[in-house]
């Protein structure tokens, strides 16, 4: 089980791993609604080929990712395939499915 600090650390790390040229046309906010004792609300804002991350709720995100904190930690660290997690219901996407597909290519592994 990932600690709360490990889960919280995923989002600044994602912002740093953004590939600017893959996100050049993206201007959006993604909310991560993670359940469990180590969960919480986190967001990633992508604009002008850069990303920033934070904690808490946001108004009107383009996409919301819902998962247990442990499942999202496994997906974000490469221990679980994102598509497989989605297909088995461990990862739910609300909103812009096109953004969800694009998200798979916007970050360095």
Mean per-residue pLDDT pooled into runs of 10, the chain (109 residues): 94 95 92 97 95 96 97 94 94 94 87
Domain residue ranges of the chain, discontinuous segments joined by +: 4-96
DSSP string computed for 18-78: B-GGGSTT--EEEEEEEESTT-EEEEEEEETTEEEEEES--SS-SEEEEEEHHHHHHHHTT
Query: What Rg do the C-alpha atoms of the chain give, in angstroms?
Result: 13
pLDDT at position 109: 74
What does the chain come to in residues?
109
Fold classification of 4-96 is Nonspecific Lipid-transfer Protein; Chain A (3.30.1050)
- Residue 90, helix vs strand vs coil: coil
**Residues contacting 73, CB < 8 A, separation 6+:** 2, 6, 7, 10, 79
* pLDDT for the residue numbered 29: 97
């Amino acid at each position: 089980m990932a600690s709360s600090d490990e889960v919280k650390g995923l989002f600044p790390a994602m912002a740093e791993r953004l590939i600017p040229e893959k996100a050049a046309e993206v201007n959006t906010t993604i909310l991560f609604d993670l359940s469990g004792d180590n969960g919480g609300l986190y967001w990633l804002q992508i604009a002008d080929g850069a990303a920033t991350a934070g904690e808490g709720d946001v108004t009107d995100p383009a996409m919301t990712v819902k998962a247990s904190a442990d499942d999202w930690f496994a997906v974000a660290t490469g221990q679980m395939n994102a598509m497989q997690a989605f297909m088995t219901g461990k990862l739910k996407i609300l909103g812009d499915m096109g953004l969800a597909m694009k998200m798979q290519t916007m970050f360095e592994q």
